[in-house]
Copies of this chain bind each other. A is one copy, B any other.
Amino acid sequence: MSRSERLIDLIQVLRRHRRPVSGRQLAEETGVSLRTLYRDIASLQAQGAEIEGEAGVGYVLRPGFLLPPMMFSEEEIEALVLGSRWVAKRGDDRLAAAAVDALAKIGSVLPGELKDKLDGSTLLVGPRQPIVDRIDLGLLRKAIRSEHKLALHYLDNDGRDSHRTVWPFALGFFEETRVLAAWCELRQDFRHFRTDRIRQADMLDNRYPRRRQALLKDWRVARGVDPAGV
């Protein structure tokens, strides 16, 4: 296995472990000596991987994705840039910030001439009044990712307050609004919640008992939605 392959492999090994892992163990799993492992870790850190080592504890990889070198066509880059611009305009604050950061990262590794091409890119996203949410959508995404229950304080269609515990599994971005899709414990059915009507959301400590993927699948079947779409 070449060195560069091994480095990527090392990332994967690190990802598999949530708890800190000792260098000795990493060295065994990647089939290399401890000394070389330290050198590999240094290489990855130099390349921007956020690996943290602490004496007496071990290594942890800060959550994220290290993408290997890859080739994109001009149109594919245009698509990525246009899409990120859309998110930067229409996503919630945190996601919009992430889109801007991602664009900056891609831009920073392109040679000057091509960076200009992106900066002055000529694919534009039309304006629209921003959507205001009372809550942090980052919390909703976090609950979705970690499959945790949410306690919602929701303002009903008819203006009635309601409190429910739901199992959130998806977030839909429409033009006028955003919608949280979740299983509602109260109604024992799928329900959709406009994010601008969510007064408050608190993530509970316990996870819900089903897999997010399974919920998503059932929901699509229940709505008769093309599995590839929406």
Partner pick for A79 among B71, B95, B125, B172, CB 8 A cutoff:
B95
A101 to B80, CA, bound (A): 10
Within 8 Å by CB of A70, from B71, B95, B109, lies B109
**Interchain CA distance A82-B111 in the complex, whole Å:** 26
* A122: Cβ under 8 A from any B Cβ: yes
A212 at the interface (CB under 8 A from B): yes
Interface 9-residue window, one of A31-39, A44-52, A200-208: A44-52
Give the number of copies in the complex: 2
The segment from A61-69, A158-166, A183-191 found at the interface with B is A61-69
| Partner among B84, B120, B170 whose Cβ is within 8 Å of the Cβ of A216 | B120
Question: Please, which residues of chain B bring their CB within 8 A of the CB of A73?
Answer: 62-65, 98, 101
Total number of A residues with any Cβ neighbor in B under 8 Å:
75
Find chain B residues with CB under 8 A from A101 CB. Answer: 73, 76
A23: Cβ under 8 A from any B Cβ = no
Q: How far is the CB of A81 from chain B (nearest CB, A)?
A: 9
Alpha-carbon separation in the docked complex, A73 to B174 (Å)? 24
Closest chain-B Cβ to A162's Cβ sits at a distance in Å of: 23
Question: Are B79 and A102 in contact, with the CB atoms below 8 A?
Answer: yes
The answer to whether residues A65 and B74 also contact, given A83-B83, A87-B79 and a CB cut-off of 8 A, is yes
| Smallest CB separation, A144 vs chain B (Å) | 5
Q: Which residue of B lies closest to A75 (CB)?
A: B98
Indicate whether A193 reaches chain B with its CB closer than 8 angstroms. no
CB-CB under 8 A from A25, the residues of chain B are: none
Question: Are B82 and A72 in contact, CB atoms less than 8 angstroms apart?
Answer: no
Kindly provide the distance from the CB of A104 to the nearest chain B CB, expressed in whole angstroms: 10
For A49, list chain B residues within 8 Å (CB). Answer: 71
7 interchain pairs, CB-CB under 8 A:
A47-B69, A50-B71, A65-B110, A73-B98, A76-B98, A79-B95, A86-B86
Known pairs A74-B145, A82-B91 / 9 extra A-B pairs, C-beta < 8 Å: A47-B69, A64-B72, A66-B70, A67-B67, A73-B101, A76-B98, A78-B141, A122-B171, A125-B172
